[in-house]
Amino acid sequence: MRKLFYEDINITDFTATVTACEPIDAGKTYRVLLDATAFFPEEGGQSADKGTLGNQSVLDVQIEKDLIYHYVEKPLEVGTTISGHVDWTQRFDFMQQHSGEHIVSGLVHKHFGYNNVGFHLSVNEVTLDFNGELTPEQIAMIEKEANEVVFQNLPIEISYPTKEELAVLSYRSKIEIEGQVRIITIPGVDVCACCAPHVAYTGSIGMIKITNCQSHRGGVRLNILCGQRALTDYNQKQNSVTAVSVALSAKPNLIADAVLRLKEENLRQKEKYNDLQAQYLKLSLSALPSPAQSNDAVLFVGPMDTIAIRNTVNELVESYTGYCAVFSGSENDGYQFIVGSKHADCKELAQILRQELGAKCGGNTPMIQGSITATPDMILNYLCSK
């Protein structure tokens, strides 16, 4: 089987002869071998190429024992000639990401001695795992230098050294490989064993952006975006910045400060609101019968925060021996409520309210919490001792 992507990375359209076709998944899919292919399979953490064989889509491409299997829906007749087409947009995008990865991994290895111990490249993300930690400053330095390598437009060289040459060559991803080892060299930046398609010059990668870094198995996992992906990300972020900038009437480069000011203002408003709520609840308490007149204290108020309600109930249980309750909301929209008592059984009350008035509530003997839709009269029926 000729691997056309090793002969010319730009080949997207090719013809080949079908040499094998077998059904799998009870005939739902077929896997096809050709005498030549331009499809790069899923390999080394990279997803497979997309495209078509004849008039059907290639669902997946896998490599086993150096044979490249194309997965398709309908069978292809062995011995026939078929045309293949590789989706260049995805292939080129993968080449940009993968070549960018070599630059970042090469620079991290050069400066800090860490190895790339995990690589994942799909249409959704590119992640690089290193067996050492990197500070934000070190990452910024790597990113800057990686982009300088792009600007220099260095050649990305592919070579197939002999065993003797390999023995004295210093390169990354040094594992025992049966057969010929393929070496990708970016002069002065990186030397690495790799089987994947790469761009010919670093300039074709476009911008390299490191977008995230998180701790991972004693080292770090970086997310990177190269080329078009970096531009798409820039556009999305610019749209967000513009939207925030317009909403806050702040210059785009000053939105962080504007958001912080807004948060502080919001906090002050919240404090004011809490204060007013507390004052309102205190005033409402004066309308209640005194502990001498009634064992129970039940308040109906407009919508309030749970904390304010709980504080009020906690205060009431110190003076009243029966049920102390605050219902917050309205007859139409329903009430959120808390009932507490130092002597009466609130858990028993919860059961009654659930059964009789369809309340949704729970808790324990001294305090219950929940929601209910009923009129104050209906509720008072079960809460106030007659």
Query: Which residues of this chain interact with Zn ion, rule CB under 5 A?
Result: 194, 196
Nearest to 185 by CA among 255, 102, 301: 102
Angle separating helix axes 255-285 and 228-248, nearest 10 degrees:
50
For the record, the structure tokens of 378 come out as 């209906």
Task: Give min distance, CB of 63 to Zn ion, in A.
Answer: 15
Name the H helices within 113-162.
136-151
Nearer to Zn ion, 194 or 298 (CB): 194
| Beta-carbon contacts of residue 70 (< 8 Å; ≥ 6 apart) | 31, 32, 33, 34, 37, 39, 53, 58, 60, 61
Would you say 134 or 194 has its CB closer to Zn ion?
A: 194
Nearest to 383 by CA among 295, 304, 307: 295
Least distance in angstroms from the C-beta of 97 to Zn ion: 10
The smaller minimum CB distance to Zn ion, of residues 166 and 278, is found at 166
Least Å distance between CB 73 and Zn ion? Answer: 31
Three-state secondary-structure class, residue 217: coil
Beta strands in 199-310 (DSSP E): 208-216, 219-226, 297-301
Q: Which two tokens stand for residue 100?
A: 């960018």
Rounded Cα–Cα distance for residues 321 and 334 (Å): 26
Q: Please, what is the minimum distance in Å from the beta carbon of residue 189 to Zn ion? A: 13
**Given the complex with Zn ion, which of 108 and 379 has the nearer CB atom?**
108
Least distance CB 83 / Zn ion (angstroms):
29
- Residue at shortest CB range from Zn ion: 194
Of 21 and 194, which CB lies nearer to Zn ion in the complex structure? 194
Supply the minimum distance, in Å, between the C-beta of residue 95 and Zn ion: 11
Pick between residue 3 and residue 347 the one whose CB is nearest to Zn ion: 3
